[in-house]
Amino acid sequence: MKTRFRPKYNIKKGDQVVVIAGDDKDAKKPRLVKKVLVDEGKILVEGVNIVTKHTKPSAQNTKGGIVKQEAPINISNVMLWDGKQGAKVKREERDGKKVRVSKKSGGII
């Protein structure tokens, strides 16, 4: 994603999200974000989009073979979890700090 201005996302590493689109769709099960790939507009979510990768033997992995690992999914396919449900998020300034606020419940995430 080569643009003049870097996009800003409301999802960070370590957040809880629910997958709202794709094969692993489950709006009731929160999952952990492992990594956010800002330039690509994708995130790596624990236990979602498992792919099989064929690896050659190397110094670290002497056997090689087939390895199952998570692949990134588009950031638009997830929704931030606010403790009870998936929620849209807005940014507000409270006490001089910018915080993420749930649009449904009004609570700080």
Q: What pLDDT does residue 1 have? A: 57
Mean pLDDT of the chain: 91
Assess if residue 63 is contained within a domain.
yes
Assess if residue 89 is contained within a domain.
no
Assess if residue 9 is contained within a domain.
no
Percent of the chain with pLDDT over 70: 97
Assess if residue 1 is contained within a domain.
no
Residue 69 domain boundaries: 16-82
Assess if residue 92 is contained within a domain.
no
Q: How far is Cα 79 from Cα 67, in angstroms, rounded to an integer?
A: 28
* Per-residue pLDDT band at 47 (split at 50, 70, 90): very high
Assess if residue 25 is contained within a domain.
yes
Q: Edge-to-edge strand order for the sheet containing 26-37? A: 73-74, 42-45, 26-37, 16-19, 78-80
Assess if residue 27 is contained within a domain.
yes
Q: Tokens in use for 66?
A: 């087939």
Q: What pLDDT does residue 8 have? A: 86
Q: What pLDDT does residue 53 have? A: 94
Q: What pLDDT does residue 107 have? A: 86
Q: What is the number of domains present in the chain?
A: 1
| 19-28 pLDDT tens trace | 999 999 988 9
Q: How far is Cα 11 from Cα 50, in angstroms, rounded to an integer?
A: 21
Assess if residue 75 is contained within a domain.
yes
